[in-house]
Structure 1
Amino acid sequence: MFKGKIISHPVPPYSVAWSSSSIVVAGSDKRVVMYTKMGKIHQQFDYSRDASEREFSSIVTSPSGQALIVGSYNRIRIFDFNTSRGMWEERGTREFDGIYTITSLAWKRDGSRLVCGTLCGAVEMFDSVLRRSVWKNKWEMTYVGPSQVLVKPLAGSGPFGSRGVILRSQYGFEIHDVRIMGKDRYLVARTNETLLLGDLHRNLLSEVHWAVEPGTEKFYFDNENVCMIFSAGELSLVEYGNNDLLGSVR
């Protein structure tokens, strides 16, 4: 926990947010500045020469900390954090005629909705989704960020009463290849460096480091507490809800 002054910003900081990697500050100088947690400038985006831009009035980070929205006059700017480069990248802008200054921003806990409050008292709500896919006409996968996926049954509740889970990589890695297995009770997903497993019935999720080539494993879900993974003559055990391998044997 820091105490005392961390950052000296050159203009009044109208809006401040803390992401997974930076302290982000914006204000009347039309700059978005990313500071390190030690108060050093890591990156900045300067729009002072853009005559159509006005002062930045609000900021919000996504629940995963890997996306950032900055609000101004009739406009929001969207930024994503590139984990492989360790840098923020601007993903574009959205214009909204007639809403005037965006005074507040909030993100739904699961990352699927963005809410804007305006100077004139209006409240606008927007979808915040990268893409959607459907698994075997039973489950909907909603990618709300590179490292976060909402998994929910299309019928409202799954066969074990599950209403879905928020699947998130604790390391910020991009999630791909999400599958529902074991009689629609267990979840298996991958990043480039980890394996994510989950019990949808009890809402228990695990993420373990995994260097095995995809497609070479066999998953066994006979035990409701442990997933057994067999690959290349080695048996690995992962307890649902635990982010470390329980053990492995050859």
Structure 2
Amino acid sequence: MKCGLIEKKKGQFDDHTTIDAYVWYEKDWKHDSHDHVHQRYQLTYVEDGYQYFHIENTIYLVPQNHLIWIPSGKKHHTESEASTVNLMVVLFKSVFDNNFFNDVHVFSAPPVLSEMLKYAAKWSQLLEEDEEQRFFMSALLYSLPYFCKEKEGLHIPVPADQRLISVCNYINKNFHNQLDTEILAEIALMSVRSLQRIFKKETGITIQKYMQLIRILKSIELINSGQYTLSQIALMIGYKSLSAFTTSYFAIMKEKAKVR
């Protein structure tokens, strides 16, 4: 049994619990890395560390004190290289009539929501709900759309064109270097102009924006480690100055970069 669900075969979960909102809070979280799907709506709160969620053609980063909402029936898997991941998963059997619940969302947890989730930890792994839990979790669920201030910069589009996959892999491995578009075009076996056009069509962003996004997401991993100053991180991810990094970070995250 995982998160109150029974895995009858790899990646396929059956729901036999009667509880409407199943809570699982765990420190030093270890999750299967293979794709899986379940017929419950999933709210994951990362209290400490970070996790990457692979959902369809997009990879979402969920850093510390952030949440991800995943609609029912969406295949996904997670990964993280953080030394410690403390998180809470809440699986809802049913939701309210609101379009919010039909899409994936990543957003930071405001203080009141963080406190609500910490309070909900007292029901972790319980298979029977009492009246307080039923009303409390229902109120939390109802309020989610109002708490959500979407973090658009926390997802990485994955192109379907295999020629672009090679380009993305190269950027992911060499993000700390100054990358030449002509080299990327050679990797894709196309002209620079074709690469720029097709990349934008497939991902919705330019190659330069993709490079910026990868660097900022890598910086979040380094900030999470607590081992480096912002100046060190700026150089490690390929920026020539701290100011260039902090400007880029703010453009993506809509908040200032801060070490832990």
TM-score grouping bracket, smaller chain normalisation: under 0.3
Larger Rg: 1
Q: Structure with the greater relative contact order (CA < 8 A, sep ≥ 6): 1 or 2?
A: 2
Considering fraction of residues, name the structure with more strand.
1
TM normalised by structure 2 equals 0.23
Considering fraction of residues, name the structure with more helix.
2
TM normalised by structure 1 equals 0.24
